[in-house]
Chain A
């Protein structure tokens, strides 16, 4: 055995706390090691060439690189050794940066530990054997989960490139949060004017199938070959017949909360969320329907010209196959009522969220674009009033550790500036508009200029400081806060207060992540594979991210990311066959006792009963199905299964080597 050990300095990232040169020299004493070298930057071109040169000149048959985490550069170095003619799986990394130099300060200690980690890697590499990747056929259809602007963009890009795309949307229409917006910053473009044509493009594209009012029930399989169960929720309306005429909604006698209008208006028990909905199909909210609740009514059935109402409709399950999955499930608005009791917990009618205000500003919204005080709306003998003083408060559920949201929501500074401008535009320039802020984050193209415009051109008054309390007094909302620049208490009698509610992970995000086997952070946002190098991929091969489900994002970033993700999917599916990891389980059939425990525990269905020539049955792992988790290995009662690349012997040898000092 001829092992080469290469110890990286990573500039001073490693060398500051680890004596790379010294431990490289010492590694020469380890069993099987015939060559050692310390390299300033091992991942650089000269560094990789040095490894390849040593493999050729010293005839190395195994390589250990002691550098950063294998999550960082294992793939890089496997390619390096393969380039020199060595099997890429005869390679092991010792993580002496993330797990050593970066967490210790003392150089002798750091060096000692780094040396131990190299010993372990050398012990492991001695146990490795050459492995060869298998190939599987690839299904070229793509599933896009979520039909907001991210999902729409990804679906259109993929469909344009010729792939078949299925968009699964949990609401009855695609469009997502962007469909609720009135205008978009910093251009004050009409949101619907940009979005709805894209929605129609989606529905008319020959390569796109939209499954609205549907959710992901189960995901099985692996990259290139996912099997997904989709639940089509019962809408109580036969969508093949429904023509979207809205007659049912007009005649329905039962009121229901209007989620699309963020609850500032009511809709009917049978409803279509908005006029430009795609698909434009009605659905019954069973909890509010008189027929379902009281057993009489059936008005919608009588008025429907298409005979589409079907009170007996049940959820339907559809199974489909895909090669790749794009997750674009977006975000929710932070539920401020549950957290900000000093702002009235939602009991003060004239304190509303940013998205509620957005619906009010919208010409197709419940007030037809008129800005009104909610306390004066919908009452007998009271003429709805326009507010004369409007106060915006920033960072509601953002940058606030006391409500468990220390992160910045990215969009609120800008949407508040937009809404402040629109307030002046809708109500009149004489309206007093105040914005309480912590810092203004105007980082995007044209953003800083936009905020400046709000301040100078529209005269919006920005007050740096937090509002401590909101309460009702003599028909006004008292705003009590601090101007930290003047160092003074401020009190404003407001007619309307708009809270810039931040972005929170979508309801059900963690459950979906568990179905997909992808990671998520403590806030419920999905975790990318690497924040800089693999920002569009998840750690589960074949599953990609787009939009605010990954982190709070504005529309330009979301769309850019969605297109980037589509390109990633195209790159993956451009191949007809995919190489599968050869680091999988293998059965020693001579020792198999046919207990089938492995079949019981495998989450993927990889082990199967194989008939041998003598008519007996033994376990056999289907190579292209096995994902290499090793559950069966730890379960087999006779230890006849081993995991290539993570063999039992290699685990034990690492432990033994490091403990025998």
Chain B
């Protein structure tokens, strides 16, 4: 188990620890990643249990990436991109929306609770919205707790 020891306090923390959940975010470079940057710049506190993978566009995301994350032990996956109509590449998020909508409906049939996956739109100027979205999503996953066995 990976651990960080803080040299000043001697305490440790771990993503694997008690009560922790593992949530992976896949964010488009132009809107949501920048929105998350904005939330950081504005020092908007966010839950710890979240790790972001940057992709150029939500249209680049294959639903298999998300299933892979679950297979490897993620307790939740959050995808976020530009608002429909505002895609930096004109229409990437439309393609993403179709695929992710299908995936969202399919996951419960595979035995996943609906709260474990969400796709949403957050623009580069919506720092506060980003804080809200990520906080609420992780709260939902925390309520469910870690996934049993953590394998797909």
- State the A residues within 8 Å of B (CB): 19, 21-23, 26, 69-72, 95, 97-100, 102-109, 111-113, 115-117, 120, 513-514, 517, 519-522, 527, 539-540, 583, 601, 603-604, 627-631, 633-635, 643, 646, 648, 651-652, 654-656, 658-661
Q: Are A521 and B125 in contact (CB under 8 A)?
A: yes
In the bound complex, how far is the Cα of B69 from the Cα of A601, in angstroms?
26
In the bound complex, how far is the Cα of B85 from the Cα of A583, in angstroms?
24
Q: Are A540 and B65 in contact (CB under 8 A)?
A: no
Q: Are B95 and A98 in contact (CB under 8 A)?
A: no
Contact of B95 among A26, A107, A514, A631 (CB under 8 A): A631
Task: Check A601/B95 contact, CB under 8 A, given A19-B7, A103-B46, A629-B56.
Answer: yes
Q: Are A655 and B65 in contact (CB under 8 A)?
A: yes
Q: Please give me the residue from chain A that is nearest to B36 by CB atom.
A: A99
Q: Are A658 and B60 in contact (CB under 8 A)?
A: no
Q: Are A107 and B9 in contact (CB under 8 A)?
A: yes
Q: Are A631 and B60 in contact (CB under 8 A)?
A: yes
CB interface residues, B 1-57, toward A, < 8 Å = 1-9, 11-16, 22, 24, 26, 30-31, 33-34, 36-37, 39-41, 43-46, 48, 51-57
Residue of A100, A654, A655 ringed by the most chain B CB atoms within 10 A: A655
Q: Are B87 and A517 in contact (CB under 8 A)?
A: yes
A628 neighbours in B (Cβ, 8 Å): 56
Q: Please give me the residue from chain A that is nearest to B2 by CB atom.
A: A661
In the bound complex, how far is the Cα of B124 from the Cα of A631, in angstroms?
21
Q: Does B104 contact A (CB under 8 A)?
A: no
Q: Are B89 and A113 in contact (CB under 8 A)?
A: no
Q: Does B136 contact A (CB under 8 A)?
A: no
Q: Are B56 and A102 in contact (CB under 8 A)?
A: no
Residue of A102, A103, A115 ringed by the most chain B CB atoms within 10 A: A103
- A-B contacts, 13 listed (Cβ < 8 Å): A19-B7, A22-B7, A103-B39, A112-B15, A115-B2, A517-B87, A519-B125, A603-B91, A629-B59, A629-B92, A631-B89, A655-B72, A658-B24
A116 neighbours in B (Cβ, 8 Å): 2, 15, 51
A108-B5, A113-B15 known, 9 other contacts, Cβ within 8 Å:
A23-B4, A69-B33, A71-B33, A104-B46, A519-B30, A519-B125, A629-B92, A651-B55, A661-B15
A22 neighbours in B (Cβ, 8 Å): 4-7
In the bound complex, how far is the Cα of B46 from the Cα of A557, in angstroms?
37
Q: Please give me the residue from chain B that is nearest to A114 by CB atom.
A: B4
Q: Does B110 contact A (CB under 8 A)?
A: no
Q: Please give me the residue from chain A that is nearest to B10 by CB atom.
A: A108
Interface bits B69-105 vs A (CB < 8 Å: 1, else 0) = 1001110000000100111111110011001000000
Q: Are B40 and A661 in contact (CB under 8 A)?
A: no
Q: Please give me the residue from chain B that is nearest to A17 by CB atom.
A: B6
In the bound complex, how far is the Cα of B8 from the Cα of A105, in angstroms?
14
In the bound complex, how far is the Cα of B12 from the Cα of A183, in angstroms?
66
Contact of A648 among B16, B36, B62, B126 (CB under 8 A): B62
Bin the interface of chain B by size.
Answer: 35 or more
Q: Are B92 and A631 in contact (CB under 8 A)?
A: yes
A111 neighbours in B (Cβ, 8 Å): 4, 6, 13
A106 neighbours in B (Cβ, 8 Å): 13, 48
In the bound complex, how far is the Cα of B37 from the Cα of A428, in angstroms?
55
Contact of A105 among B3, B30, B45, B62 (CB under 8 A): B45
Q: Are A631 and B7 in contact (CB under 8 A)?
A: no
In the bound complex, how far is the Cα of B82 from the Cα of A545, in angstroms?
20
A234 nearest CB across to chain B (Å): 28
Q: Does B139 contact A (CB under 8 A)?
A: no
Q: Are B57 and A630 in contact (CB under 8 A)?
A: yes
Q: Does B141 contact A (CB under 8 A)?
A: no
In the bound complex, how far is the Cα of B137 from the Cα of A441, in angstroms?
41
Q: Are A522 and B126 in contact (CB under 8 A)?
A: yes
Q: Are B65 and A643 in contact (CB under 8 A)?
A: no
Q: Please give me the residue from chain B that is nearest to A652 by CB atom.
A: B68
A98 neighbours in B (Cβ, 8 Å): 36-37, 39-41
Q: Are B43 and A112 in contact (CB under 8 A)?
A: no
In the bound complex, how far is the Cα of B60 from the Cα of A601, in angstroms?
12
Q: Are B51 and A71 in contact (CB under 8 A)?
A: no
Q: Are A103 and B43 in contact (CB under 8 A)?
A: yes
A244 nearest CB across to chain B (Å): 40
B19 nearest CB across to chain A (Å): 12
Q: Does B138 contact A (CB under 8 A)?
A: no
Q: Are B40 and A69 in contact (CB under 8 A)?
A: yes
Q: Are B37 and A69 in contact (CB under 8 A)?
A: yes
Contact of B124 among A527, A601, A648 (CB under 8 A): A527
B61 nearest CB across to chain A (Å): 6
Task: Check A112/B40 contact, CB under 8 A, given A601-B95, A603-B92, A655-B24.
Answer: no
Q: Are B40 and A655 in contact (CB under 8 A)?
A: no
Contact of A540 among B4, B88, B125 (CB under 8 A): B88
In the bound complex, how far is the Cα of B85 from the Cα of A634, in angstroms?
20
In the bound complex, how far is the Cα of B87 from the Cα of A517, in angstroms?
7
Q: Please give me the residue from chain A that is nearest to B123 by CB atom.
A: A519
A539 neighbours in B (Cβ, 8 Å): 30, 34, 88, 124
Q: Are A517 and B6 in contact (CB under 8 A)?
A: no
In the bound complex, how far is the Cα of B105 from the Cα of A37, in angstroms?
46
Q: Are A97 and B40 in contact (CB under 8 A)?
A: yes
Q: Are A99 and B37 in contact (CB under 8 A)?
A: yes
Task: Check A634/B60 contact, CB under 8 A, given A517-B88, A522-B126.
Answer: yes
